[in-house]
Structure 1
Protein backbone atom coordinates (compact mmCIF):
# COMPACT_ATOMS: atom_id res chain seq x y z
CA UNK A 1 0.00 0.00 0.00
CA UNK A 2 1.42 3.45 -0.88
CA UNK A 3 2.16 5.89 1.97
CA UNK A 4 -0.81 7.86 3.25
CA UNK A 5 -1.33 11.28 1.73
CA UNK A 6 -0.96 13.78 4.57
CA UNK A 7 -4.09 15.82 5.17
CA UNK A 8 -3.87 19.59 5.77
CA UNK A 9 -6.89 20.20 7.99
CA UNK A 10 -8.95 22.89 9.66
CA UNK A 11 -11.03 21.38 12.46
CA UNK A 12 -14.23 23.33 13.13
CA UNK A 13 -15.78 22.00 16.30
CA UNK A 14 -17.77 22.45 19.52
CA UNK A 15 -16.06 20.27 22.18
CA UNK A 16 -18.18 18.39 23.49
CA UNK A 17 -17.27 14.86 24.53
CA UNK A 18 -17.04 13.28 21.10
CA UNK A 19 -15.36 16.35 19.60
CA UNK A 20 -12.74 16.04 22.35
CA UNK A 21 -11.97 12.43 21.36
CA UNK A 22 -11.86 13.47 17.71
CA UNK A 23 -9.35 16.25 18.42
CA UNK A 24 -7.17 14.04 20.62
CA UNK A 25 -7.10 11.36 17.92
CA UNK A 26 -6.10 13.92 15.31
CA UNK A 27 -3.47 15.60 17.49
CA UNK A 28 -1.94 12.17 18.14
CA UNK A 29 -1.58 11.61 14.37
CA UNK A 30 0.91 14.25 13.14
CA UNK A 31 2.34 11.92 10.50
CA UNK A 32 -1.05 11.84 8.76
CA UNK A 33 -2.78 15.10 9.74
CA UNK A 34 -1.32 18.61 9.69
CA UNK A 35 -3.64 20.77 11.76
CA UNK A 36 -3.72 24.24 10.23
CA UNK A 37 -6.16 25.57 12.83
CA UNK A 38 -8.90 24.63 15.25
CA UNK A 39 -11.90 26.95 15.03
CA UNK A 40 -14.75 26.73 17.51
CA UNK A 41 -18.48 27.32 17.19
CA UNK A 42 -21.32 27.49 19.69
CA UNK A 43 -23.03 24.10 19.66
CA UNK A 44 -22.83 21.38 22.29
CA UNK A 45 -22.21 24.10 24.87
CA UNK A 46 -21.69 27.88 24.51
CA UNK A 47 -18.77 29.31 22.53
CA UNK A 48 -16.70 30.41 25.53
CA UNK A 49 -16.85 26.90 26.97
CA UNK A 50 -16.05 25.02 23.76
CA UNK A 51 -13.13 27.36 23.09
CA UNK A 52 -11.75 26.84 26.58
CA UNK A 53 -12.10 23.08 26.08
CA UNK A 54 -10.27 23.17 22.75
CA UNK A 55 -7.37 25.03 24.36
CA UNK A 56 -7.26 22.60 27.31
CA UNK A 57 -7.29 19.60 24.95
CA UNK A 58 -4.41 21.09 22.99
CA UNK A 59 -2.38 21.42 26.20
CA UNK A 60 -3.31 17.89 27.30
CA UNK A 61 -2.08 16.52 23.97
CA UNK A 62 1.16 18.51 24.19
CA UNK A 63 0.39 20.30 20.93
CA UNK A 64 1.15 23.95 21.68
CA UNK A 65 1.89 24.34 17.96
CA UNK A 66 -1.83 24.03 17.16
CA UNK A 67 -3.67 27.35 16.98
CA UNK A 68 -7.20 27.80 18.36
CA UNK A 69 -9.62 30.53 17.27
CA UNK A 70 -13.14 31.26 18.49
CA UNK A 71 -15.78 31.61 15.79
CA UNK A 72 -19.53 32.24 15.75
CA UNK A 73 -21.42 32.02 19.06
CA UNK A 74 -24.86 31.32 17.59
CA UNK A 75 -26.65 30.07 14.45
CA UNK A 76 -27.37 32.27 11.45
CA UNK A 77 -31.14 32.57 11.98
CA UNK A 78 -32.45 30.37 14.78
CA UNK A 79 -31.84 31.01 18.49
CA UNK A 80 -29.05 28.86 19.91
CA UNK A 81 -29.75 25.37 21.24
CA UNK A 82 -27.20 23.51 23.36
CA UNK A 83 -26.68 19.88 24.34
CA UNK A 84 -25.39 20.36 27.87
CA UNK A 85 -28.02 17.83 29.00
CA UNK A 86 -25.80 15.24 27.29
CA UNK A 87 -22.29 16.71 27.49
CA UNK A 88 -22.59 18.37 30.88
CA UNK A 89 -22.35 22.05 31.72
CA UNK A 90 -18.59 22.09 31.09
CA UNK A 91 -18.97 20.04 27.89
CA UNK A 92 -16.68 17.15 28.84
CA UNK A 93 -19.02 14.98 30.86
CA UNK A 94 -17.23 13.72 33.98
CA UNK A 95 -13.82 14.29 32.41
CA UNK A 96 -11.58 16.97 33.87
CA UNK A 97 -8.57 18.73 32.38
CA UNK A 98 -6.07 21.18 33.79
CA UNK A 99 -6.88 24.77 32.86
CA UNK A 100 -5.42 25.67 29.49
CA UNK A 101 -2.03 27.36 29.74
CA UNK A 102 -2.31 28.94 26.28
CA UNK A 103 -5.47 30.89 25.42
CA UNK A 104 -7.16 31.10 22.06
CA UNK A 105 -5.81 33.66 19.64
CA UNK A 106 -7.72 36.86 19.06
CA UNK A 107 -8.61 36.63 15.36
CA UNK A 108 -12.10 35.43 14.54
CA UNK A 109 -12.36 31.82 13.44
CA UNK A 110 -14.26 32.71 10.24
CA UNK A 111 -11.51 35.10 9.20
CA UNK A 112 -8.89 32.42 9.85
CA UNK A 113 -10.78 29.93 7.67
CA UNK A 114 -10.94 32.50 4.88
CA UNK A 115 -7.29 33.56 5.19
CA UNK A 116 -6.05 29.97 5.29
CA UNK A 117 -8.03 28.92 2.23
CA UNK A 118 -7.29 32.12 0.32
CA UNK A 119 -3.58 31.44 0.57
CA UNK A 120 -3.78 27.71 -0.19
CA UNK A 121 -3.38 25.90 -3.52
CA UNK A 122 -6.45 24.51 -5.21
CA UNK A 123 -8.02 21.44 -3.55
CA UNK A 124 -5.39 21.32 -0.81
CA UNK A 125 -7.20 21.86 2.52
CA UNK A 126 -9.67 19.50 4.17
CA UNK A 127 -12.34 21.01 6.42
CA UNK A 128 -13.59 18.79 9.24
CA UNK A 129 -16.68 20.34 10.87
CA UNK A 130 -18.08 18.36 13.79
CA UNK A 131 -20.49 20.97 15.12
CA UNK A 132 -23.08 23.28 13.58
CA UNK A 133 -21.86 24.53 10.18
CA UNK A 134 -22.15 28.23 11.01
CA UNK A 135 -18.46 29.15 10.65
CA UNK A 136 -18.04 27.27 7.38
CA UNK A 137 -21.19 28.82 5.89
CA UNK A 138 -20.25 32.37 6.89
CA UNK A 139 -16.77 31.92 5.40
CA UNK A 140 -18.20 30.62 2.12
CA UNK A 141 -20.75 33.45 1.93
CA UNK A 142 -18.22 36.14 2.81
CA UNK A 143 -15.67 34.90 0.26
CA UNK A 144 -17.10 32.28 -2.14
CA UNK A 145 -13.81 31.94 -4.06
CA UNK A 146 -12.22 30.06 -1.15
CA UNK A 147 -14.20 26.98 -2.19
CA UNK A 148 -11.54 26.33 -4.87
CA UNK A 149 -8.98 25.51 -2.12
CA UNK A 150 -11.19 22.94 -0.40
CA UNK A 151 -10.02 19.41 -1.07
CA UNK A 152 -12.98 17.95 0.81
CA UNK A 153 -15.37 18.72 3.63
CA UNK A 154 -15.63 15.68 5.92
CA UNK A 155 -18.47 16.57 8.26
CA UNK A 156 -20.38 14.89 11.05
CA UNK A 157 -24.06 15.57 10.54
CA UNK A 158 -27.34 14.46 9.11
CA UNK A 159 -29.58 11.44 9.35
CA UNK A 160 -31.39 9.23 6.87
CA UNK A 161 -32.59 5.74 7.83
CA UNK A 162 -31.92 6.24 11.55
CA UNK A 163 -34.07 9.34 11.99
CA UNK A 164 -32.98 12.23 14.19
CA UNK A 165 -31.42 12.52 17.63
CA UNK A 166 -32.74 15.97 18.53
CA UNK A 167 -36.04 15.96 16.62
CA UNK A 168 -37.90 13.11 14.93
CA UNK A 169 -35.93 13.53 11.71
CA UNK A 170 -32.99 15.87 12.35
CA UNK A 171 -29.51 15.25 13.69
CA UNK A 172 -28.27 17.82 16.25
CA UNK A 173 -25.69 19.72 14.14
CA UNK A 174 -28.10 20.09 11.21
CA UNK A 175 -30.98 21.08 13.48
CA UNK A 176 -29.06 23.75 15.38
CA UNK A 177 -28.18 25.67 12.20
CA UNK A 178 -30.07 24.30 9.19
CA UNK A 179 -29.55 27.49 7.19
CA UNK A 180 -25.77 27.15 7.50
CA UNK A 181 -26.01 23.49 6.49
CA UNK A 182 -28.01 24.51 3.41
CA UNK A 183 -25.24 26.95 2.40
CA UNK A 184 -22.54 24.32 2.79
CA UNK A 185 -24.34 21.61 0.82
CA UNK A 186 -25.00 24.14 -1.96
CA UNK A 187 -21.36 25.33 -2.05
CA UNK A 188 -20.07 22.94 -4.68
CA UNK A 189 -17.32 21.70 -2.37
CA UNK A 190 -16.71 17.93 -2.32
CA UNK A 191 -18.45 16.62 0.81
CA UNK A 192 -18.33 13.38 2.76
CA UNK A 193 -21.22 13.30 5.25
CA UNK A 194 -20.84 11.02 8.27
CA UNK A 195 -24.36 10.97 9.65
CA UNK A 196 -26.20 9.01 12.29
CA UNK A 197 -26.65 6.06 9.92
CA UNK A 198 -22.89 5.50 10.25
CA UNK A 199 -22.09 6.80 13.73
CA UNK A 200 -24.74 4.67 15.43
CA UNK A 201 -22.68 1.70 14.25
CA UNK A 202 -19.80 2.94 16.48
CA UNK A 203 -21.15 2.30 20.00
CA UNK A 204 -19.21 2.45 23.25
CA UNK A 205 -20.35 -0.96 24.46
CA UNK A 206 -19.28 -2.37 27.85
CA UNK A 207 -16.55 -4.41 26.11
CA UNK A 208 -15.11 -1.31 24.46
CA UNK A 209 -15.33 0.65 27.71
CA UNK A 210 -13.33 -2.12 29.39
CA UNK A 211 -10.64 -1.90 26.73
CA UNK A 212 -10.50 1.87 27.21
CA UNK A 213 -10.18 1.54 30.99
CA UNK A 214 -7.44 -1.07 30.58
CA UNK A 215 -5.19 1.49 28.86
CA UNK A 216 -4.24 2.79 32.31
CA UNK A 217 -3.00 6.10 30.90
CA UNK A 218 -4.08 9.66 31.60
CA UNK A 219 -5.73 9.82 28.17
CA UNK A 220 -7.55 6.54 28.79
CA UNK A 221 -8.84 7.69 32.18
CA UNK A 222 -9.98 11.05 30.80
CA UNK A 223 -11.82 9.60 27.80
CA UNK A 224 -13.34 6.83 29.93
CA UNK A 225 -14.69 9.40 32.43
CA UNK A 226 -16.25 11.46 29.65
CA UNK A 227 -17.90 8.45 28.06
CA UNK A 228 -19.16 6.97 31.34
CA UNK A 229 -21.15 10.18 31.82
CA UNK A 230 -22.64 10.04 28.31
CA UNK A 231 -23.30 6.29 28.48
CA UNK A 232 -25.46 6.80 31.56
CA UNK A 233 -27.44 9.52 29.79
CA UNK A 234 -27.91 7.39 26.67
CA UNK A 235 -29.28 4.59 28.84
CA UNK A 236 -31.76 6.97 30.47
CA UNK A 237 -32.80 8.90 27.35
CA UNK A 238 -32.65 6.28 24.62
CA UNK A 239 -32.46 2.93 26.39
CA UNK A 240 -29.25 2.33 24.43
CA UNK A 241 -26.32 0.23 25.60
CA UNK A 242 -23.38 2.43 24.78
CA UNK A 243 -23.34 5.96 23.40
CA UNK A 244 -22.46 6.56 19.77
CA UNK A 245 -18.96 7.84 19.07
CA UNK A 246 -20.05 10.40 16.47
CA UNK A 247 -17.29 12.92 15.76
CA UNK A 248 -14.23 10.63 15.86
CA UNK A 249 -15.64 8.90 12.78
CA UNK A 250 -14.56 11.93 10.74
CA UNK A 251 -10.93 11.60 11.83
CA UNK A 252 -11.19 7.87 11.33
CA UNK A 253 -12.23 8.54 7.75
CA UNK A 254 -9.14 10.70 7.20
CA UNK A 255 -6.82 8.10 8.72
CA UNK A 256 -8.35 4.94 7.24
CA UNK A 257 -10.96 5.58 4.53
CA UNK A 258 -10.88 1.85 3.71
CA UNK A 259 -12.93 1.28 6.89
CA UNK A 260 -15.87 3.23 5.44
CA UNK A 261 -18.39 2.57 2.69
CA UNK A 262 -19.96 5.56 0.93
CA UNK A 263 -22.54 6.20 -1.77
CA UNK A 264 -22.91 9.32 -3.95
CA UNK A 265 -26.13 11.19 -3.29
CA UNK A 266 -27.99 14.46 -3.26
CA UNK A 267 -28.48 16.00 0.19
CA UNK A 268 -30.93 18.84 0.73
CA UNK A 269 -31.49 20.39 4.15
CA UNK A 270 -34.95 21.45 5.32
CA UNK A 271 -34.98 25.04 6.60
CA UNK A 272 -38.61 26.16 6.44
CA UNK A 273 -40.64 23.93 8.73
CA UNK A 274 -40.17 24.39 12.50
CA UNK A 275 -41.00 20.71 12.98
CA UNK A 276 -38.49 19.33 10.50
CA UNK A 277 -35.78 22.04 10.29
CA UNK A 278 -32.42 20.34 9.85
CA UNK A 279 -33.88 17.22 8.26
CA UNK A 280 -31.49 15.92 5.60
CA UNK A 281 -33.22 14.53 2.51
CA UNK A 282 -30.67 11.99 1.25
CA UNK A 283 -31.42 10.96 -2.35
CA UNK A 284 -29.36 8.09 -3.78
CA UNK A 285 -31.45 7.66 -6.93
CA UNK A 286 -31.68 11.16 -8.46
CA UNK A 287 -35.39 11.27 -7.71
CA UNK A 288 -35.30 15.06 -7.60
CA UNK A 289 -33.31 15.36 -10.81
CA UNK A 290 -30.78 17.50 -8.97
CA UNK A 291 -27.03 16.79 -9.19
CA UNK A 292 -25.17 14.81 -6.54
CA UNK A 293 -23.47 17.03 -3.96
CA UNK A 294 -22.05 14.60 -1.39
CA UNK A 295 -21.00 11.09 -0.50
CA UNK A 296 -23.01 9.56 2.35
CA UNK A 297 -21.30 7.07 4.68
CA UNK A 298 -23.49 3.97 4.80
CA UNK A 299 -21.29 1.55 6.76
CA UNK A 300 -18.12 1.48 8.82
CA UNK A 301 -15.93 -1.20 10.39
CA UNK A 302 -16.56 -0.35 14.04
CA UNK A 303 -14.07 -2.82 15.55
CA UNK A 304 -11.21 -1.65 13.34
CA UNK A 305 -12.12 2.00 13.87
CA UNK A 306 -12.19 1.61 17.65
CA UNK A 307 -8.82 -0.16 17.56
CA UNK A 308 -7.41 2.74 15.54
CA UNK A 309 -8.72 5.33 18.01
CA UNK A 310 -7.27 3.37 20.95
CA UNK A 311 -3.89 3.13 19.24
CA UNK A 312 -3.82 6.91 18.71
CA UNK A 313 -4.95 7.71 22.25
CA UNK A 314 -2.17 5.45 23.56
CA UNK A 315 0.34 7.82 21.98
CA UNK A 316 -0.65 10.68 24.26
Structure 2
Protein backbone atom coordinates (compact mmCIF):
# COMPACT_ATOMS: atom_id res chain seq x y z
CA UNK A 1 0.00 0.00 0.00
CA UNK A 2 1.47 3.41 -0.94
CA UNK A 3 2.13 5.77 1.95
CA UNK A 4 0.37 9.12 2.13
CA UNK A 5 2.50 12.14 1.35
CA UNK A 6 2.52 15.35 3.39
CA UNK A 7 2.37 18.32 0.99
CA UNK A 8 5.27 20.71 1.47
CA UNK A 9 2.89 23.58 2.26
CA UNK A 10 1.40 21.55 5.13
CA UNK A 11 4.82 20.37 6.30
CA UNK A 12 6.08 23.93 6.53
CA UNK A 13 3.09 25.02 8.63
CA UNK A 14 3.88 22.32 11.18
CA UNK A 15 7.44 23.52 11.75
CA UNK A 16 8.75 25.08 14.94
CA UNK A 17 11.87 27.19 15.45
CA UNK A 18 14.72 27.18 17.93
CA UNK A 19 17.94 29.18 17.89
CA UNK A 20 21.29 27.46 17.48
CA UNK A 21 24.36 29.66 17.89
CA UNK A 22 22.38 32.71 16.91
CA UNK A 23 20.74 31.12 13.84
CA UNK A 24 17.06 30.15 13.51
CA UNK A 25 16.59 26.41 12.85
CA UNK A 26 13.31 24.87 11.71
CA UNK A 27 12.39 21.56 13.29
CA UNK A 28 9.52 19.09 13.51
CA UNK A 29 8.45 16.59 16.15
CA UNK A 30 5.50 14.25 16.46
CA UNK A 31 4.43 11.11 18.30
CA UNK A 32 5.37 9.47 21.57
CA UNK A 33 7.70 6.74 22.68
CA UNK A 34 11.40 6.19 22.11
CA UNK A 35 13.06 9.17 20.40
CA UNK A 36 13.88 8.66 16.72
CA UNK A 37 16.10 11.30 15.12
CA UNK A 38 15.77 11.65 11.34
CA UNK A 39 18.75 13.32 9.62
CA UNK A 40 18.38 14.46 6.00
CA UNK A 41 20.86 14.66 3.14
CA UNK A 42 22.42 17.15 0.69
CA UNK A 43 21.10 19.30 -0.91
CA UNK A 44 17.54 18.78 0.34
CA UNK A 45 15.86 18.94 3.77
CA UNK A 46 13.73 17.14 6.34
CA UNK A 47 10.72 17.08 4.03
CA UNK A 48 12.55 14.12 2.47
CA UNK A 49 11.04 12.07 5.32
CA UNK A 50 7.43 13.11 4.77
CA UNK A 51 6.19 9.72 3.51
CA UNK A 52 7.59 8.00 6.60
CA UNK A 53 6.70 10.69 9.12
CA UNK A 54 3.20 9.62 10.19
CA UNK A 55 3.83 5.85 10.15
CA UNK A 56 6.93 6.30 12.31
CA UNK A 57 5.15 8.76 14.62
CA UNK A 58 2.57 6.05 15.38
CA UNK A 59 5.34 4.12 17.16
CA UNK A 60 8.05 6.59 18.12
CA UNK A 61 8.72 10.20 19.04
CA UNK A 62 10.10 11.37 15.71
CA UNK A 63 12.33 14.43 15.56
CA UNK A 64 13.88 16.17 12.56
CA UNK A 65 15.33 19.54 11.64
CA UNK A 66 16.51 21.31 8.54
CA UNK A 67 20.21 21.52 9.31
CA UNK A 68 22.11 24.79 9.18
CA UNK A 69 22.36 25.82 5.51
CA UNK A 70 19.46 23.62 4.40
CA UNK A 71 15.73 23.87 3.74
CA UNK A 72 13.90 26.55 5.69
CA UNK A 73 16.65 27.03 8.29
CA UNK A 74 19.17 29.86 8.28
CA UNK A 75 21.77 29.87 5.51
CA UNK A 76 24.40 32.38 6.62
CA UNK A 77 26.80 33.37 3.85
CA UNK A 78 29.87 34.11 5.96
CA UNK A 79 29.97 30.79 7.74
CA UNK A 80 32.20 27.73 7.66
CA UNK A 81 29.87 24.74 7.47
CA UNK A 82 30.95 21.53 9.15
CA UNK A 83 29.56 18.05 9.72
CA UNK A 84 30.85 18.28 13.28
CA UNK A 85 28.81 21.42 13.85
CA UNK A 86 25.75 19.72 12.36
CA UNK A 87 26.22 16.97 14.96
CA UNK A 88 26.37 19.71 17.61
CA UNK A 89 23.10 21.02 16.17
CA UNK A 90 21.42 17.61 16.48
CA UNK A 91 22.51 17.37 20.09
CA UNK A 92 21.31 20.93 20.77
CA UNK A 93 17.91 20.06 19.29
CA UNK A 94 17.63 16.99 21.54
CA UNK A 95 18.54 19.15 24.54
CA UNK A 96 15.99 21.79 23.49
CA UNK A 97 13.34 19.05 23.45
CA UNK A 98 14.53 17.66 26.81
CA UNK A 99 15.33 14.28 25.29
CA UNK A 100 17.28 12.36 27.91
CA UNK A 101 16.70 8.79 26.68
CA UNK A 102 19.05 6.97 24.32
CA UNK A 103 18.20 8.11 20.79
CA UNK A 104 17.63 5.99 17.70
CA UNK A 105 18.91 7.49 14.42
CA UNK A 106 17.70 7.12 10.83
CA UNK A 107 19.90 9.04 8.39
CA UNK A 108 20.42 9.63 4.68
CA UNK A 109 23.33 10.85 2.52
CA UNK A 110 25.00 13.89 4.20
CA UNK A 111 23.02 12.90 7.29
CA UNK A 112 24.88 9.57 7.34
CA UNK A 113 28.08 11.45 8.06
CA UNK A 114 26.41 13.39 10.87
CA UNK A 115 25.14 10.07 12.25
CA UNK A 116 28.65 8.61 12.05
CA UNK A 117 29.90 11.54 14.13
CA UNK A 118 27.16 10.86 16.69
CA UNK A 119 28.26 7.21 16.80
CA UNK A 120 31.83 8.35 17.45
CA UNK A 121 30.57 10.61 20.24
CA UNK A 122 28.59 7.69 21.66
CA UNK A 123 31.90 5.88 22.07
CA UNK A 124 33.24 8.98 23.82
CA UNK A 125 30.21 9.05 26.18
CA UNK A 126 29.00 12.38 24.78
CA UNK A 127 25.61 11.03 23.63
CA UNK A 128 23.82 7.71 23.97
CA UNK A 129 22.82 6.25 20.61
CA UNK A 130 20.46 3.27 20.84
CA UNK A 131 20.60 2.23 17.16
CA UNK A 132 21.43 3.68 13.77
CA UNK A 133 20.11 2.95 10.28
CA UNK A 134 21.81 4.45 7.25
CA UNK A 135 20.16 5.08 3.88
CA UNK A 136 22.31 5.75 0.79
CA UNK A 137 25.32 7.79 1.80
CA UNK A 138 29.07 8.07 1.59
CA UNK A 139 29.99 5.97 4.61
CA UNK A 140 33.44 5.36 3.11
CA UNK A 141 35.24 8.07 1.11
CA UNK A 142 36.90 5.39 -1.01
CA UNK A 143 33.53 4.26 -2.41
CA UNK A 144 31.87 7.66 -2.80
CA UNK A 145 31.34 8.60 -6.45
CA UNK A 146 30.29 12.27 -6.64
CA UNK A 147 28.21 13.46 -9.56
CA UNK A 148 29.48 16.21 -11.86
CA UNK A 149 27.68 18.99 -9.98
CA UNK A 150 29.39 17.98 -6.72
CA UNK A 151 32.78 17.93 -8.45
CA UNK A 152 32.16 21.39 -9.89
CA UNK A 153 31.09 22.78 -6.52
CA UNK A 154 34.37 21.50 -5.06
CA UNK A 155 36.40 23.28 -7.75
CA UNK A 156 37.81 26.83 -7.45
CA UNK A 157 34.78 27.99 -9.46
CA UNK A 158 32.37 26.38 -6.99
CA UNK A 159 31.05 29.71 -5.74
CA UNK A 160 30.02 30.62 -9.29
CA UNK A 161 28.56 27.17 -10.03
CA UNK A 162 26.46 27.31 -6.88
CA UNK A 163 25.01 30.72 -7.61
CA UNK A 164 24.09 29.56 -11.11
CA UNK A 165 22.46 26.35 -9.86
CA UNK A 166 18.83 26.16 -10.94
CA UNK A 167 15.78 23.94 -10.86
CA UNK A 168 16.85 22.61 -14.25
CA UNK A 169 20.25 21.70 -12.83
CA UNK A 170 18.57 19.94 -9.93
CA UNK A 171 16.31 17.97 -12.29
CA UNK A 172 19.31 16.91 -14.38
CA UNK A 173 21.24 15.73 -11.30
CA UNK A 174 18.25 13.86 -9.88
CA UNK A 175 17.64 12.07 -13.17
CA UNK A 176 21.13 10.61 -12.80
CA UNK A 177 20.78 9.39 -9.23
CA UNK A 178 17.17 8.18 -8.90
CA UNK A 179 16.06 4.75 -10.04
CA UNK A 180 14.87 4.57 -13.69
CA UNK A 181 11.27 3.86 -12.63
CA UNK A 182 11.17 6.00 -9.48
CA UNK A 183 12.22 9.48 -10.58
CA UNK A 184 10.55 12.47 -8.94
CA UNK A 185 7.55 14.11 -10.57
CA UNK A 186 7.68 17.70 -11.79
CA UNK A 187 5.71 18.72 -8.71
CA UNK A 188 8.20 16.99 -6.41
CA UNK A 189 11.08 18.69 -8.20
CA UNK A 190 9.35 22.04 -7.67
CA UNK A 191 9.15 21.30 -3.94
CA UNK A 192 12.75 20.11 -3.65
CA UNK A 193 13.85 23.25 -5.47
CA UNK A 194 11.72 25.46 -3.21
CA UNK A 195 13.62 24.14 -0.19
CA UNK A 196 17.02 24.64 -1.82
CA UNK A 197 16.16 28.12 -3.07
CA UNK A 198 14.73 29.27 0.28
CA UNK A 199 16.88 31.90 2.03
CA UNK A 200 19.10 32.19 -1.08
CA UNK A 201 20.45 28.70 -0.66
CA UNK A 202 22.35 28.37 -3.97
CA UNK A 203 24.86 31.01 -2.92
CA UNK A 204 26.20 28.76 -0.12
CA UNK A 205 26.20 25.40 -1.92
CA UNK A 206 29.95 25.61 -2.51
CA UNK A 207 30.38 26.00 1.25
CA UNK A 208 28.15 23.06 2.14
CA UNK A 209 30.03 20.77 -0.27
CA UNK A 210 33.02 20.91 2.06
CA UNK A 211 31.52 17.85 3.71
CA UNK A 212 33.21 15.66 1.06
CA UNK A 213 36.83 16.45 2.09
CA UNK A 214 35.72 16.54 5.74
CA UNK A 215 34.61 12.91 5.41
CA UNK A 216 38.15 11.97 4.39
CA UNK A 217 39.60 13.64 7.49
CA UNK A 218 37.19 11.82 9.82
CA UNK A 219 37.13 8.52 7.93
CA UNK A 220 39.16 6.32 10.28
CA UNK A 221 37.45 7.64 13.42
CA UNK A 222 34.00 7.09 11.95
CA UNK A 223 34.73 3.63 10.57
CA UNK A 224 36.15 2.61 13.95
CA UNK A 225 32.92 3.80 15.58
CA UNK A 226 30.89 1.54 13.28
CA UNK A 227 33.24 -1.39 13.87
CA UNK A 228 32.98 -1.29 17.67
CA UNK A 229 29.71 -3.22 17.57
CA UNK A 230 28.19 -1.55 20.65
CA UNK A 231 25.33 0.05 18.66
CA UNK A 232 22.96 -1.94 16.43
CA UNK A 233 23.39 -0.84 12.79
CA UNK A 234 21.60 -1.50 9.52
CA UNK A 235 22.04 -0.16 5.99
CA UNK A 236 18.97 0.11 3.73
CA UNK A 237 20.34 1.01 0.33
CA UNK A 238 18.99 1.76 -3.13
CA UNK A 239 21.09 -0.59 -5.23
CA UNK A 240 21.27 1.36 -8.50
CA UNK A 241 22.40 4.64 -6.93
CA UNK A 242 25.57 5.64 -8.84
CA UNK A 243 26.88 7.64 -5.85
CA UNK A 244 26.58 5.16 -2.98
CA UNK A 245 24.60 2.15 -4.16
CA UNK A 246 25.50 -1.53 -4.29
CA UNK A 247 29.24 -0.83 -4.49
CA UNK A 248 29.11 1.01 -1.15
CA UNK A 249 27.22 -1.89 0.48
CA UNK A 250 29.88 -4.30 -0.76
CA UNK A 251 32.50 -2.25 1.06
CA UNK A 252 30.26 -2.05 4.15
CA UNK A 253 30.11 -5.85 4.27
CA UNK A 254 33.90 -6.04 4.00
CA UNK A 255 34.57 -3.63 6.85
CA UNK A 256 31.72 -3.99 9.36
CA UNK A 257 31.52 -7.18 11.46
CA UNK A 258 28.21 -9.07 11.10
CA UNK A 259 27.10 -6.43 8.58
CA UNK A 260 23.31 -6.00 8.36
CA UNK A 261 22.52 -4.56 4.93
CA UNK A 262 19.37 -4.57 2.80
CA UNK A 263 19.59 -3.78 -0.92
CA UNK A 264 16.56 -2.39 -2.75
CA UNK A 265 16.73 -3.44 -6.44
CA UNK A 266 15.89 -0.74 -8.97
CA UNK A 267 15.98 2.02 -6.34
CA UNK A 268 18.40 4.94 -6.46
CA UNK A 269 19.81 7.50 -4.07
CA UNK A 270 16.58 8.59 -2.33
CA UNK A 271 14.93 5.34 -1.11
CA UNK A 272 12.77 7.19 1.43
CA UNK A 273 10.95 8.95 -1.42
CA UNK A 274 11.42 6.36 -4.18
CA UNK A 275 10.31 3.33 -2.14
CA UNK A 276 9.08 4.59 1.24
CA UNK A 277 6.95 1.51 1.98
CA UNK A 278 9.98 -0.76 1.56
CA UNK A 279 12.15 1.49 3.72
CA UNK A 280 9.45 1.50 6.40
CA UNK A 281 9.13 -2.29 6.24
CA UNK A 282 12.85 -2.89 6.63
CA UNK A 283 13.25 -0.20 9.29
CA UNK A 284 10.42 -1.55 11.45
CA UNK A 285 11.74 -5.11 11.05
CA UNK A 286 15.11 -3.88 12.34
CA UNK A 287 13.49 -2.19 15.33
CA UNK A 288 11.25 -5.16 16.08
CA UNK A 289 14.29 -7.42 16.09
CA UNK A 290 16.00 -5.12 18.59
CA UNK A 291 12.98 -5.38 20.86
CA UNK A 292 13.06 -9.19 20.99
CA UNK A 293 14.24 -10.65 24.30
CA UNK A 294 17.68 -12.28 24.11
CA UNK A 295 17.74 -16.03 23.60
CA UNK A 296 18.55 -18.00 26.73
CA UNK A 297 21.10 -20.78 26.49
CA UNK A 298 19.78 -24.18 27.49
CA UNK A 299 21.36 -25.72 30.58
CA UNK A 300 21.61 -29.39 31.53
Same fold (TM over 0.5): no
Q: Which protein has the bigger helix share? A: 2
The alignment's TM-score, normalised by the length of structure 1, stands at 0.37
